[in-house]
Structure 1
């Protein structure tokens, strides 16, 4: 049940043959969980505790897995007639849910939709068919008004579900989740999903950019992009000199480091926000970006790189560490305690700069030449 007390359901369509995959998709292992478990988990984490699973081909195996996951199944005896037969079976089952307002339909071969996407659709729902949209493209799962169930049950299947819904009022909901577009039709597709499953906590660069665009004001976004450019430039040069830094982690954490800039203690608030969004890999970096001392190990990590990059950017332009902190010292000149803290952070930043220059064998200005004006 969502905060506004409306009732939502969900159905996962898992009745197909998986003919192009060469294996039965619902039960394939995707990063330690079955494909079906990934789908079920997305809904459960968004508050829909018992999504329905439509079974058909290999029904006994699907039913067994659904039982293990604690969710009900519906059998589609006509699964050989195509996906719309499963859509009908799902709609018929959802019709039996009391006081249902709307329901999701998710093909099992789109298993890496983020729970936050489900939540965004739930909160945006206004009685129209709600579609998640990433990079201008609609994806799965749509959230369908229960009032359309009779139309679905009476439809001849021509044009599939998409054809039926095209004539209905729709609501496009921007999301930052590329998983709404990624299916698993072939082994090559599945290889992409395996890679993505291992990286969900970091996200992809275009996802981070979409999240930043949806969450940050224009000036904050421009600053984040500038810090990301500097941080990636540093990371690339360090990697050329023997480091093994995760450049996507650096980029995304740097881009989103001020995602909670308008909140008290914005560093910790930003880290906590990203953790809630499923980007826990970014949280420690964002939560610490204000001040990171040089590591005792002498080995620079993504955290130090992002912190230093932030100290090298004012607004969306590069600045020297001494100039950046000199401005702060002038601003707080009549506050000895604040000045002492500023000097401490400046010494840390200078030490990090020295470590980067030593590791790369050249000065910072040379390393970052051409990165930002």
Structure 2
């Protein structure tokens, strides 16, 4: 079935609002059009049509046309819809559904495309939209049963207006991909997109919330994770002021997501596996260590140790001393000596980490607890 899904990338316009030719804007080492093509290829899409128009020769010089089909829409001045029709008209007969992606939305994860295709297979819907934090994004996957309607359409409102007529044949899938809503209409949009690209190995705050929502995380776990993230980022900032170089985004994401698998057996490892499968190995590594860790008696501090300590110092949603955490744990588990023994051992490890941080930063435990009143340090 997957070899019957194609992709149409629209790269024909003037880029009039941007004032710079968007298909060839650099994102890392590739152009926007190359990024869009690569995402489709990594998702296993074999038939990829790139519809060009304005400055089509420059795009042709950029792309490997042995792996994609380059189309020139000589009527591109009539607007984007003419380019959509050009692409749809040139789909091969074997294609049963196609992605439609404007070139100025180039940072779609290949995993997102795979999830959309899975939704298409499972729901048998004629149109599937990806959704990120309740916002519908690109690219839709559209059945070729609507091919003739698209070609014949001359109503105002373009493709969006046409597809709204088939709402009953539509499915939506929640994805963990802010890129589906990020375009490049302005210079500021381009700057934001570049910042997102450079940090793409770690989920941003909105993506963390989407992950938590996707896995049905209860509110009390969300609130605990937010407090752990705040404390971890504040500790990381204090250490950075002493010459360390901790990634605030990694600490924030790991704190927010560390209990995503809470309630499952070996929930730390299970959470790490979830993040690994989502394509975030750095976060996975930190999360997997938040219940069992072996500290070293030296001044080297790791992200794993910061999250481990922050988790142990946050009781529900309150930052407490390790002594208070031990007392609270004893009150809860005094009739379960084996369970309390494990807690006592973990808090002892947390104490080793705390002592290292105190030695490096000069902060007392009381000052660290006071981060609760100060909020997250930037």
How many equivalent pairs are there?
A: 365
3-state secondary structure, aligned to 1:290: coil
- Please say which of residues 176-185 and 271-280 is displaced more in the overlay: 271-280
Residue equivalent to 2:301: 300
State whether residues 320 and 369 of structure 2, in contact with CA within 8 Å, keep that contact through their aligned partners in structure 1. no
Structure 2 residues not aligned, in runs of 5+? none
- Cα deviation 1:290-339 (Å, max 9, x = unaligned): 2344456614343321111111223434343345457388576359xx94
State the shift of 1:193 in Å: 1.4
| TM-score normalised by length of structure 2 | 0.85
The answer to whether 1:346 aligns with 2:371 is no
User: CA separation of 1:70/1:297 partners in 2, compared to 1, >3 Å: closer, same or farther?
Assistant: farther
Aligned to 1:80: 77
Distance 1:68 1:194 in 2: 26
For 2:206 and 2:32, the matched residues in 1 are separated by 24
Quick check: 2:36–2:108 contact (8 Å CA) kept in 1? Answer: yes
2:337 aligned to 333, 336, 342, which one? 333
Supply the RMSD in Å over aligned alpha carbons: 2.9
Residue 60 of structure 2 corresponds to: 63
Q: CA deviation at 1:147?
A: 1.5
Is the contact between residue 237 and residue 367 of structure 1 (CA under 8 Å) also seen in structure 2?
no
1: CA distance between counterparts of 2:95 and 2:68?
Answer: 19
Q: 1:175 to 1:65 in 2, by over 3 A?
A: same
Matches for 1:355-370 after TM superposition, within 5 Å = 355-369=356-370
Structure 1 residues without counterparts, runs of 5 or longer: none
Greater Cα shift, 215-224 or 139-148: 215-224
Counterpart of 1:108? 103
Q: What residue number does 1:176 align with?
A: 176
TM-superposed deviation, 1:227: 1.9
Matching of residues 269-308 of structure 1 within 5 Å: 269-294=270-295, 298-308=299-309
Distance 1:187 1:231 in 2: 34
How far apart are the structure 2 equivalents of 1:78 and 1:222?
A: 54
SS in 1 for 2:171: strand
- Match of 2:90? 93
* 1:31 aligned residue: 28
Task: For 2:200 and 2:354, locate their aligned partners in 1 and report how far apart those are by CA, in whole Å.
Answer: 31
CA drift of 1:108 comes to: 0.7
With structure 1 as the length reference, what TM-score do the two structures score?
Answer: 0.86
